[in-house]
Structure 1
Amino acid sequence: MQSPARRDLIADAAITVIAGHGLRGLTHRAVDAAAGLPAGSTSYYARTRAALIELVLSRLLALDLHDAAVADNRPPSLDGPDDVVALGVGYVLNAIGPQRSRALARFELALEATRRPELRATYDRMGAQLREMLTAVMAGVGSADPPRHAWALAAWLEGAVFEATAGAGGANPPDATELTASLGDVLRGLLATVTARH
């Protein structure tokens, strides 16, 4: 019988391998070594490389939802725009700090998905779940167009993470104060359309 804890351990090791060596370095043997498991352990949980990549994507989604305090596919309870800013800044700081390997692995997989339609479908399906959560969050704080504003919020979040990990800003990543000011500007601009349209 497969163990969920062992599956997560393997997925986490695969994320580390991808972040450190790219998708070319992702092999069952490399994941076994990174996880400290006997040879053949990874292939028991993911027979093919495609299955291993899908395992990684599922794990990345689960971790992102956990970090966003999503329970039972419901968005976190937020009292207003300041809470959204705090949640977003926390996400970025986590992604560019202690969970940097997750961000790098996700970017590697996003690029690979541009060349592999079957991976693109999985990547987009999982990304849609996060977008739905952001849409609910924006609706909850009074957005006049939650889907469009969720897209803008997701673009800011991913752009901030990319800039600070793989982009030109990696040498001088922003701190909490800078991120709070920037995301606050973005969110105020989005929510101002409520007044502008009425």
Structure 2
Amino acid sequence: MERIDRIGDAAIAVIAAEGMRGLTHRAVDRAAGLPVGSTSYYARTRAALLELTINRITALDGVAIAPPPGGLAEFVAGYVAEALGPGRTRMLARYEFALEATRRPELRPAYDEGGAAIRSRAAEVLAAAGSADPVRHATLLVDWMEGTIFGALAGASRMPPRESLVASAREILAGIGVG
């Protein structure tokens, strides 16, 4: 793993555990197990550290949306399950960024780019599945996925069993005419 990725992963972990206020160069150095000053070598300012971190989140999101073999409902449920399991820390940090981007316009472009990539990939998958309006349907599907993830991570919901995720994905997909 490259050092920059290690720093990005550590920054994600710090944000997920402590929120944006906990994100400091020293906290990232500590979380990454690097000598003091390592993070500031790659990201001199807090703004640069935030940008490095959101870019890492976006890169990891891209890995998470690679389609595995299987049906479409299983693919969608798999994305949600990954976000609630191995991707939990990344998603918590992503939601922290969502809130921070509403207050810091300089973060909005990078945050929006990550969201657009997920929606674009969903539109591609839905187009291949025969959606009559893949862009609009991708918005509906991703909004359901985001709501499910947020509810399980930060809301009153609990992590749904995989079978429940697949069943819900099938219902959503049937509702947009691709299930």
TM range (shorter): over 0.9
Q: Aligned residue for 1:61?
A: 58
Counterpart secondary structure, 1:114: helix
Letter of the aligned partner of 2:55 in structure 1?
S
Normalising to structure 2: TM-score of the pair?
A: 0.94
CA distance in 1, matches of 2:134, 2:26: 44
Counterpart secondary structure, 2:71: helix
CA distance in 1, matches of 2:178, 2:105: 38
CA distance in 2, matches of 1:181, 1:133: 21
Q: Aligned residue for 1:72?
A: none
Letter of the aligned partner of 1:53 in structure 2?
L
CA distance in 1, matches of 2:87, 2:116: 21
2:16–2:92 contact (8 Å) kept in structure 1? yes
**One of 6, 11, 15 as aligned partner of 1:9:** 6
CA distance in 1, matches of 2:71, 2:49: 36
After the TM superposition, which parts of structure 1 deviate over 2 Å for at least 4 consecutive aligned residues? none
2:8–2:53 contact (8 Å) kept in structure 1? yes
- For the pair shown, the structure with the greater C-alpha radius of gyration is 1
- Alpha-carbon distance, 1:192 to partner: 6.1
- Alpha-carbon distance, 1:84 to partner: 2.1
2:29–2:37 contact (8 Å) kept in structure 1? yes
Letter of the aligned partner of 1:120 in structure 2?
R
Any unmatched runs of 5+ in structure 1? 70-75, 194-198
CA distance in 1, matches of 2:155, 2:166: 20
Cα distance per residue 1:92-135 (max 9 Å; x no partner)? 11111222111100000000011111111221122212211111
- Alpha-carbon distance, 1:55 to partner: 1.1
Any unmatched runs of 5+ in structure 2? none
Q: Aligned residue for 1:150?
A: 138
CA distance in 1, matches of 2:61, 2:168: 21
CA distance in 2, matches of 1:31, 1:192: 44
Counterpart secondary structure, 2:36: coil
Q: Aligned residue for 1:31?
A: 28
Aligned-residue sequence identity (percent) comes to: 55
- Alpha-carbon distance, 1:191 to partner: 1.3
CA RMSD for the aligned pairs? Answer: 1.7
Normalising to structure 1: TM-score of the pair?
A: 0.86
Q: Aligned residue for 2:38?
A: 41
Letter of the aligned partner of 2:28 in structure 1?
V
CA distance in 1, matches of 2:64, 2:110: 21
**One of 138, 141, 154 as aligned partner of 2:126:** 138
How many residues align? The count is 179
- Alpha-carbon distance, 1:77 to partner: 7.7
